[in-house]
Structure formats: structure tokens, C-alpha cells
């Protein structure tokens, strides 16, 4: 149980285009979803936290107009990188946290999306 999928697993796009990444909790309801980015050989950096039906909370330094997050249902959150530039190239990972007896704080991670902007 507690499976999170992410799509696409990798994407190459041209500078100036927008890219949408989907994150789904497959077998549980995710009250909260998180978006991270990870550069090579570095740790995960939290970008934003989203709760179903409300606006995402962005971390300091993350441009909310550039990284649009939508959490329209308890099983789906999307991250749209708008007007992507080469410096946005990174590994983007989502995670989901649901309401589970005794483990309500546990996060489950998607497999990640590798974005390359040319």
C-alpha cells in the first residue's frame, strides 16, 4: 500500500515552454502533497506544500508564478513549470501524506521526474 506515481518520469523541453508534472496517490487519500527538487549529489529541497482544495504554500525563494501547483483532489497534485529555462533543469519529486492510523505523519514519495530544458 501507499503508492505514489509521478508522470512523466522524464521530459526534455525547449526553453520558454511549459511543462506539467502529475503526482497521484494510487491507494490512499493524500491530504497533503509536497514538491521537492533535487540537484545532482545534493539533498532534497522542499519547494511547496499543498493541501487539497487550498492554495499551495511556497518556500522562501521559490517563485509561485513560475512553479504553479494545483491540488484539485485528494489523489492528484500537479506542478507546472512555466516558461522553463535551462536553470530549471532538475529532478522533481513529489510526496504525499495521508491520514493513516498511527502513521499520519508518514510521507510516501513518487519516483521523480527528470526535467531537462534545452
Partner 1 sequence: GIQVEQSPPDLILQEGANSTLRCNFSDSVNNLQWFHQNPWGQLINLFYIPSGTKQNGRLSATTVATERYSLLYISSSQTTDSGVYFCAVDSSASKIIFGSGTRLSIRP
Q: Of the two residues 43 and 86, which places its CB atom closer to partner 1 in the complex?
A: 43
109 and 93 in contact (C-beta within 8 Å)?
yes
Cell numbers at 111, concatenated = 519516483
Q: Is 74 left (phi over 0), alpha (psi -120 to 50) or beta?
A: alpha
Nearer to partner 1 by Cβ, of 32 and 82: the residue is: 32
CB 50 within 8 A of CB 42: no
Our CB check for partner 1 shows the closer of 5 and 82 to be 5
* Residues contributing to the site for partner 1 (CB under 8 A): 2, 34, 36, 38, 41-46, 49, 91, 93, 95, 103, 105-109, 111-112, 114
Which phi and psi (to 5°) does residue 9 adopt? -80, -25
Q: Which three cell numbers stand for residue 86?
A: 535551462
Q: Which is nearer to partner 1, 15 or 106 (CB)?
A: 106
Amino acid at each position: 500500500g501507499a503508492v505514489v506515481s509521478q508522470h512523466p518520469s522524464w521530459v526534455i523541453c525547449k526553453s520558454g515552454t511549459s511543462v506539467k508534472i502529475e503526482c497521484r496517490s494510487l491507494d490512499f487519500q493524500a491530504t497533503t502533497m509536497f514538491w521537492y527538487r533535487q540537484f545532482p549529489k545534493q539533498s532534497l529541497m522542499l519547494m511547496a506544500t499543498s493541501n487539497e482544495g487550498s492554495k499551495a504554500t511556497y518556500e522562501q525563494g521559490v517563485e509561485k508564478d513560475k512553479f504553479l501547483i494545483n491540488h484539485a483532489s485528494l489523489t492528484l497534485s500537479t506542478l507546472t513549470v512555466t516558461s522553463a529555462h535551462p536553470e530549471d533543469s532538475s529532478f522533481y519529486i513529489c510526496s504525499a501524506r495521508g491520514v493513516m492510523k498511527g502513521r499520519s505523519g508518514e510521507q510516501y514519495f513518487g519516483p521523480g521526474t527528470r526535467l531537462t530544458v534545452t
